[in-house]
Chain A
């Protein structure tokens, strides 16, 4: 489903964010990207979403080379992805429902249908009763769950989450993780970057990065070794 082929990313003047990464992530996998700050986890996620372009090598999603997509084609790629960020990036001037509706609105879904689906998504993350609230009135954990609802409302094939539990207390972090696992349970491929060792214990597959290089990839004992 997602394939990295000798992928490198360099920023001027001479910062090697990623160096020669080659690995693949199968459909329906729940993968954690682990590593210290600056290991290249976020950059790798940005490559999948075409937020960054490779300096060398290729990223393939469903066989499509992301680096070769024209700028006009990128929005259509992102409609199949659910993006979750460390800072939730909810729009403060809109209520929770309007935030969750946004990915559907940009696709041209009718207002009525979009609101129905957004309410369903909020229900899945347990925040339907906060649909009319302002995002800033919610706790960090709840805001992150709103962000998850926004990411899944378009029924994406892949969810990319960049440090979604950073800055959250344990209870909130667990709820966020549970929500993500629930979507993995229905066949959505989830790629989550984290430096929280506790979450790695629960992972099916972990990919370790260090200073922009692939170090190792392991699966739980029941899984096949990468």
Chain B
């Protein structure tokens, strides 16, 4: 075990020795890899920030049924039976809430702060309403059912307007799904770029150290002994570039948050972009190191055989 540990410490020291021999080249390679990693890391940070927004708001479809302003209360409450029959058709689960016009007016006053302006109107301009919450749609059939329920509700007497409230949430969720796919594609593409850059870096290093490799082989070095420092070099390159990319993303969030804060204030929101948490940061660093290791592994396998 001590021997194994010693060999790895030696390989790591050897990797550092070669890095410090040409620090300019190494830093340039770190820069290239860091640029390639910054884009997917920034995208992931944005998605991680957007996810709570889309998840916090329920995607359960809500249908608001607004009645005529002149519909009397007894007819309005009686309409609940018809709405329940339509919503429960086929044994589907639902929840139905009646929102009296007085309660709606109070809510409007509280939310907007336009109490004085509303008071000048005199009579309550809002109608009675029902809010029907259905099961979360599982597919196209469910989506069609929501549309059909909305159509049936529109046909009921005293119903003035029917609004499917959750449509925009579904659109947002769909958009995030698309963005996630785009990000995945971007991450895979740039991951290949990282592997290619490390591959080339290690190729050049194998060529530079050809004499050392040959002599090591002649004095009894195993392939594992020869390869190890290159693996560490690749992993170090990936790790340092990953850390640099995360720092860049962190720095970019500051000016972005200034702009977002102003925008969010218009919607009475405190929304801010936050950096990735510790777990995600460690995972990305590990992934960067793994990409570097993969590049080194492929390069060493290919070029060491040629050097033999």
A-to-B contact residues, CB < 8 Å: 49, 51, 72, 75-76, 78-79, 83, 89, 91, 93, 102-103, 105-108, 110-111, 150, 154
A170 to B219, CA, bound (A): 28
A103–B220 touching, CB < 8 Å = yes
B222–A102 touching, CB < 8 Å = no
Residues of A within 8 A of B6 (CB): 108, 110-111
A102–B216 touching, CB < 8 Å = yes
B216–A106 touching, CB < 8 Å = yes
A106–B218 touching, CB < 8 Å = no
Q: Is B211 an interface residue (CB 8 A)?
A: yes
B-to-A contact residues, CB < 8 Å: 3, 6-7, 10, 21, 211-212, 214-223, 225
B218 contact from A83, A107, A111, Cβ within 8 A: A83
Question: Most chain-A Cβ atoms within 10 A of its Cβ — which of B6, B10, B21, B215?
Answer: B215
A75 contact from B21, B214, B222, Cβ within 8 A: B222
A106–B215 touching, CB < 8 Å = no
Q: A76-B220, A83-B219 are in contact. Are A106 and B225 (CB under 8 A)?
A: yes
Output the nearest chain A residue to B226 by Cβ-Cβ distance: A106
B120 to chain A, nearest CB (A): 88
B3–A108 touching, CB < 8 Å = yes
Q: A91-B211, A91-B212, A91-B215 are in contact. Are A75 and B220 (CB under 8 A)?
A: yes
Residues of B within 8 A of A93 (CB): 21, 212
A89–B220 touching, CB < 8 Å = no
A210 to B218, CA, bound (A): 27
A78 to B222, CA, bound (A): 10
Residues of A within 8 A of B220 (CB): 75-76, 78-79, 103, 106-107, 154
A83 to B216, CA, bound (A): 11
B215 contact from A72, A89, A110, Cβ within 8 A: A89
Residues of A within 8 A of B7 (CB): 108
17 further A-B pairs in the complex, CB-CB below 8 A; given A89-B214, A102-B215, A103-B220: A51-B218, A72-B222, A75-B221, A75-B223, A75-B225, A78-B218, A83-B218, A89-B218, A91-B215, A102-B216, A102-B219, A106-B219, A106-B220, A106-B221, A108-B3, A108-B6, A150-B219
A103–B21 touching, CB < 8 Å = no
B305 to chain A, nearest CB (A): 11
Residues of A within 8 A of B219 (CB): 78-79, 83, 102-103, 106, 150, 154
